[in-house]
Amino acid sequence: MAKKTPPRNFTDALATLAGHQFDVSAAKDGSGNGAKAFQVRKYGVAAEIAAAPDGTTLVLARPGWLLGGQIARLVDKGYQKFLKTPKLEIPATADHLHAIHEFSEELNEAAGATSLYNESLGTTSDRYLYDRVKGRK
């Protein structure tokens, strides 16, 4: 069952994040959607958020480990999880996964987002690549 907390407006979510030792700064405008985006960082993990049209928090870039100044995507290849940026890919350690999970939980709580059961069990990946047959995606 999903844990629901009342949604917070974006300004309150930013204040809550700053009050819980998150580093909050303006994000580089690479989203292309014209929204004033903010990058939030803690535990070596970062995400990009912005105000949604209804005033709640919209996650533009999911939480990921900061790798070479970029937010790395978590890729699950079945036998191992990897942190991947356009230029670099490294194996994810248990410390990386724990930090991403903790960050995600705190971000969801601050934003008043729904906390899903499967996400509360552990870190979920951005991409799953189990099939090792060449040519399949």
Give me the sheet containing 73-76, strands edge to edge.
Answer: 89-91, 81-84, 73-76, 127-128
Alpha helices in 9-133 (DSSP H): 10-19, 94-111, 117-121
More confident residue, 105 or 29: 105
- Residue 65: pLDDT band by 50, 70, 90 thresholds? very high
Q: Which 3 state secondary structure label does DSSP give 119? A: helix
Are residues 7 and 18 in contact, defined by beta-carbon separation less than 8 angstroms?
Answer: no
Whole-number Å distance between alpha carbons of 84 and 79? 16
pTM: 0.74
Q: What percent of the chain has pLDDT over 70?
A: 72
Whole-number Å distance between alpha carbons of 74 and 123? 9
Unique residue bearing structure tokens 């996964």: 97
Q: Which 3 state secondary structure label does DSSP give 101? A: helix
Whole-number Å distance between alpha carbons of 98 and 10? 26
Tokens linked to 50: 């912005």
Provide mean pLDDT across the span 64-73.
Answer: 89
Q: Which 3 state secondary structure label does DSSP give 74? A: strand
Q: Which 3 state secondary structure label does DSSP give 91? A: strand
More confident residue, 56 or 114: 56
- pLDDT above 90 (res 133): no
Q: Which 3 state secondary structure label does DSSP give 9? A: coil
